[in-house]
Structure 1
Amino acid sequence: MDDLVPDKSAAEMKDSAAQAPGAVLVFDGKGGVKRMAPGEGAVPFPKGFMLVCGNSKAPEFKVWLKQELGPFNTDTLTVPSTQSRCTMLDDKAILVLRIARPGAKTDDIGRQLVGIWIEKGRVIVASELNIPELLGFGHWEQSHHAPVSPADLVARLSLRASDRIEPLLEHLGDSIDAIEEELMLEQNGDSRAKLAHLRRTLIGFRKLLWPQRDVLNTLEIEDLSFFSARDRARLREASARTARLGDELQALSERAVLIHEQIMDSRAEQMNKSMLVLAAVTVVFTPLTVLSGVFGMNFPIPGADNPHAFWAVVVFLVAVAGLSIWWMRARKWL
């Protein structure tokens, strides 16, 4: 059964955050943000909220999470998961997202787990990623364009995750273009192996993108009291961005299927040509084999004493072979 997490006042949240072993950001709800120093006292945010970020592998942060959320919810946030998901707890929500690590490549995107706890006035993020850096905290301080609500923060986190995926999808598209060019130039080589590896990569990206879209859609439609119409619009925008990347991924998958069919058709055509040549050789040499077998029988053959008989037989066999080839060309078999 889920742990019961008591509702806390803003002052209690601030006092608890001051003891958190991680980065603490305070948002004023109007686009401003500041970092709370360790041990800092009360910070006014009457209409804002607080973000607490910590390393999901750090024992100190796990201890703090258990004190704040309980063991069950802490495990939900920090235990590695293979799927993104959204879990509702009264007027709170737990999100688990999988984000590509910094500097990821298409061959190894290195998915990183991000656990998010959302409640009125506070967001807790447990991840090995540097969340303030991922979200662009330094830019927010200068531009005064920070998130104004917890839902806005989640939407921007999802958009940053999409920003990491988009160049990887472009690289996959370039790889498909290269394979198509090889096929056009009839330089098949290892195109089939490259395509198989590419299709496995596309499946991995699909497992990363589509669940994230479902998480955002679920969070948008849930009846959380502190979500405004603007919050739901921001979540819808982030979900649409993820869905667009998913559509691009689907288009790449369909192109990969078409290329695979083209490779198989090319291989089948090559096989048919080879079989046609073998069949033509068989048709040409079958009558020659019969005639040579007849003349090779162990009994007297007419013309055996004629010195020109051998060349006459050779000319006859050549004529039969030529006639067979002409007949097959006339029927457009060759």
Structure 2
Amino acid sequence: MSRPDTAPHPDVMVIRLDGRGGARTVDPAGEGAMAPPEEGDGFLWAHIRLGAAETPERLKAAGLDDFVIDALLADETRPRCTVHGDGVIVNLRGVNLQAGADVEDMISVRLWLTATRVIGVWRRPLTATADLLASIERGRGPVSPGDFISRFVLRLADRAEPAVADLNELVDDLEEALLERQPEIERSKLSSIRRTAIILRRYLMPQRDALTTLEIEDLDWLSERDRSHLREAAERIYRLGEDLDSIRDRTQIISEQIMDARAERLNDRMLILSIVAAIFLPLSLLTGLLGINVDGIPGAENPGAFWVVCLILLVLGVLLFLIARRLGMFR
């Protein structure tokens, strides 16, 4: 059985699970491949690629009505849970762990669950799906649709936690750099962390609401154990949301500290310029008066007048420096 994250991705994959952890792959082109099994004979999991040309026909052949098909084929989705007839539509999002991808570019999965079938539609491979396939290969697959969805959402939370932890570590590094007064921190890096935290939270918090809704729905095929796992997944997502709120606030504080440090450096430079201006402005005025081209300039005929003026300017400059220091301009 191929795993979506490591092998070529088939347009459709159909697996019949026996309800005891075992499973067998079914030829999707076979007659009745997506028909629900008899009661007590496990359940069926169909995993279909959204972009495949045959996907709408396959969903119709599976006996799904237009409402469910439209929900599964929607271009843009947000996490939600909607009960419809004897089943439930669940839209979820998972972090993008594909090589070279941004984790905040979250991957959607659309699921239709009943007591005997799980039909999922995917646009891009999701690592949580590969985790479920790996458990099936080990003979420890889901035993019911309720067990399937509860395991799936827990794996989504498992995969999201390292991404949030990495963001926390990046913020820790920036805070440490501020404490150690290291050279200029890249504002672009700070903005990237903040943007990632905001986007992750935008999808994770509605996902928690969707799981809470699913947990309290009156669905016979959801056992107490399944509901307990759904509660656990919802709580973990809530904690991730709190961590993302903390990351967002911490990056805002770091940004303010960077701006304060820049303002402080600018103020220091402006103070130096003010001191220089305060000292040299009177001296410039005096030399400007002595440099006007009119008769009557004192010492114009005296060969030693230049050095006398220089001495006067030096004494005046020292006096102005002492006055500025006494006024506390150097503090």
Aligned: 1:34 with 2:23: yes
Deviation at 1:253?
A: 1.3
Shift of the 273–258 alpha-carbon distance from structure 1 to 2, 3 Å rule, reads same
1:46 aligns with 2:40: yes
- 1:89 paired to 2:78: no
Q: Match of 2:142, SS?
A: coil
Between 37-46 and 54-63, report the one with greater CA deviation: 37-46
Relative to structure 1, the CA distance from residue 59 to residue 225 in structure 2 (aligned partners, 3 Å threshold; closer, same or farther) is: same
1:269 to 251, 264, 269: 264
Could you tell me which residue of structure 2 aligns to residue 300 of structure 1? Answer: 296
SS class of match (1:59): coil
TM-score (norm 2): 0.83
Query: Partner residue of 1:121?
Result: 116
Structure 2 vs 1, CA of residues 197 and 21 (structure 1 numbering), >3 Å: closer, same or farther?
closer
Aligned to 2:15: 24
Query: How much does 1:37 deviate?
Result: 2.8
One-letter amino acid of the counterpart of residue 24, structure 1:
I
Normalising by structure 1, we get a TM-score of 0.83
- With 304-313 and 279-288 compared, the bigger mean Cα shift is at 304-313
1:64 equivalent in structure 2:
58
1:2-47 CA-partner distances (Å, limit 9, x unpaired): xxxxxxxxxxxxxxxxxx952223241xx42312433498966617
Q: Does structure 2 conserve the Cα–Cα contact (< 8 Å) formed by 1:85 and 1:212?
A: yes
Match of 2:205 in 1: 210
Is residue 330 of structure 1 aligned with residue 331 of structure 2? no
Q: What is the Cα-based RMSD across aligned positions, in Å?
A: 2.7
Deviations 1:248-273 (CA, angstroms, capped at 9, x unpaired): 22221121111101111011101111
1:137–1:44 distance in 2 versus 1, CA, 3 Å:
farther
Return the letter of the residue paired with 1:282. A
Displacement of 1:52: 2.1
Amino acid across the alignment from 2:323 = W
Q: Tell me the equivalent position of 1:139.
A: 135
Match of 1:238 among 225, 233, 239: 233
Amino acid across the alignment from 1:219: L
1:125/1:131 CA distance change after superposition, 3 Å = farther
The one-letter code sitting in structure 1 at the alignment partner of 2:56 is: K
Q: Which moved more, 1:237-246 or 1:76-85?
A: 76-85
Q: Which amino acid aligns with 2:300?
A: A
Aligned pair 1:317/2:313, yes or no? yes
Name the counterpart of 1:9: none
Structure 2 stretches lacking a partner, 5+ long: 1-10
On the 8 A contact 1:92/1:119 being kept in 2, the answer is yes
Which stretch of structure 1 is more off in the superposition, 84-93 or 127-136?
127-136
Q: In the aligned structure 2, how far is the partner of 1:210 from the partner of 1:156?
A: 19
* Count of aligned positions: 312
Change (3 A) 1:27 1:213: farther
Residue aligning to 2:173? 178
**Aligned partners of 1:72, 1:314: CA distance in 2, in Å?**
94
The 2-side partners of 1:130 and 1:199 are apart by 24
Gaps of 5+ in 1: 1-19
CA distance 1:261–1:102, shift in 2 (3 Å): closer
Q: 1:131 to 1:116 in 2, by over 3 A?
A: farther
In structure 2, relative to structure 1, the CA distance for the partners of 1:130 and 1:82 (3 Å cut) is: closer
1:114, 1:53 → 2: CA distance? 10
